[in-house]
Structure 1
Amino acid sequence: MKKLILAAIVCVLSVTYSQAQLLPSFKLGVKGALNFSSLHSEGKLFNSDTKTGYQLGVWGRVGIAGFHVQPEAYFASKRVGITENSEDGEGTFKSLDVPILLGTRIGLGPLGFRIQAGPVFSFAQDGEIKINNVTRWEDYKKSSTGIVGGLGVDVSSFTVDLRYEHGLTNIGQNATPDQKIRMWSIGVGYAFL
């Protein structure tokens, strides 16, 4: 009799879980993050060219059957150190970034772990590049693409993300070495829907 009751409980939980996975889910929220970016890392994750910036924006998540799409839009300030022709400088790229992440969530109820990856499209709004006190903003492209991936944790309505973004576009107009944004970010968010 105990085995029959236990089997019935497992069966009911399995059906409930599978139906919950097949129902579409929707979330909408806000997020903020610190980012650590560089234009070239010379094979290192962090070096003297890595500078700290920030991100502020909104995100949404639509999921079904354990998978989800998470589009985001945020304002980003990416600060980088620049070395060009043995001259040191610093730059700030202020952009509207639009990642479209595909992922999966593992967990039940209010606690879940996410794995996500996808493209990111960046549109420069403003910025400043100074090398030896000479402004060189016109030497850089105003849009770029990259790929972003990372891990996240959901605890009820709160989210925490750790991501790496690797630029695919050489953002220098005439730069001989490729100048691509490489960035780590750690962010927190809140889902109000």
Structure 2
Amino acid sequence: MKKIILAFAALFLMVQASQAQLLPSFKLGVKGALNFSSLKSEGKWLNSDTKTGYQLGVWGRVGIAGFHVQPELYYSQKTAGFDPESESENGEVTLKSMDLPILLGTRIGLGPLGVRLQAGPVFSFAQDGKVDLKSATDFENYKKSSTGIIGGIGADIRNITIDLRYEHGLNNVSTKSDQNQKISMWSIGVGYAFL
């Protein structure tokens, strides 16, 4: 009789756990991050130094059956130092944009503790740009939008989220076709879920 009761109890717990995975979850929060970006180019005309910038914004997460979609919207400042072929024309580029990543992911963990794996596209819309050069050049011609791919890992500790991500630009951010520049960026962020 004890074996039958234990078997029913185990079956009941397994059914409850599987149903909990099928219930949708929703989170909404704010985040901030430091980013370390550089401009990569084909050929040897540009050697970009990695510089520090920041991100500030909001995020949401809708999950079901162990998978989730996490759209975000944040203001981003990406800075890259550069040194073109001519050593007299080194300087710094600051790109300010509204970024919209749409991440697909999964969470591994129990209760308030969990590790996330996420990846997806990111769409950037330029807000303002500044080019600081030691000498005059036609380097300030950047597109108003760009697309990239982003991926990384994260951890959830109750309402606190921590993320480590890598972003790689997919298209040329320069308006000049002979200066194929793409953003490359690492970021580490902290967020808070208030829902």
Cross-structure match for 1:110: 112
Corresponding letter in the other structure for 1:27: K
Q: What is the distance in 2 between the residues matched to 1:25 and 1:77? A: 31
CA separation of 1:2/1:131 partners in 2, compared to 1, >3 Å: closer, same or farther?
Answer: farther
Residues 81, 141 of structure 1: CA spacing in aligned structure 2 closer, same or farther, 3 A cutoff?
same
Q: 1:90 to 1:175 in 2, by over 3 A?
A: farther
Q: Distance in 1 between matches of 2:114 and 2:120?
A: 20
Equivalent residue, structure 2, for 1:95: 97
Per-residue CA deviations over 1:101-131 (Å, capped at 9, x if unaligned) read 0111111211111111000000110111123
Take 1:81 and 1:184, find their aligned partners in 2: how far apart are those partners?
Answer: 15
Aligned to 2:181: 179
Kindly name which structure, 1 or 2, has the bigger radius of gyration based on alpha carbons.
Answer: 2
TM-score, length basis structure 2? 0.89
Q: How many residues align?
A: 189
Amino acid at match of 2:91: G
What is the CA–CA distance in structure 1 between the aligned matches of 2:168 and 2:80, rounded to whole Å?
Answer: 14
Secondary structure of the structure 1 residue equivalent to 2:188: strand
Q: Say whether the 8 Å CA contact 2:21–2:66 is kept in structure 1.
A: yes
The one-letter amino acid paired with 1:31 is K
Q: Is the 8 A contact 2:39 2:48 kept in 1?
A: no
User: Which secondary structure does the structure 1 equivalent of 2:40 belong to?
Assistant: coil
Structure 1 partner of 2:65: 65
Q: Which residue of 2 aligns with 1:156?
A: 158
Query: Which ranges in structure 2 are unaligned for 5 or more consecutive residues?
Result: none
* Secondary structure of 1:134's aligned partner: coil
1:49 aligns with 2:49: yes
111-120 or 47-56, which deviates more? 47-56
Q: How many Å apart are 1:32 and its aligned residue?
A: 0.3
CA distance in 2, matches of 1:135, 1:177: 13
**Segments of 4+ in structure 1 off by > 6 A?**
none
**Relative to structure 1, is the Cα distance of residues 167 and 48 closer, same or farther in structure 2, using a 3 angstrom cutoff?**
closer
How far does residue 85 in structure 1 lie from its aligned partner after superposition?
A: 3.2
> How many percent identity over aligned positions?
71
| Counterpart mapping for 1:74-85 below 5 A | 74-85=74-85
Structure-2 change in CA distance of 1:3 and 1:184 (3 Å) = farther
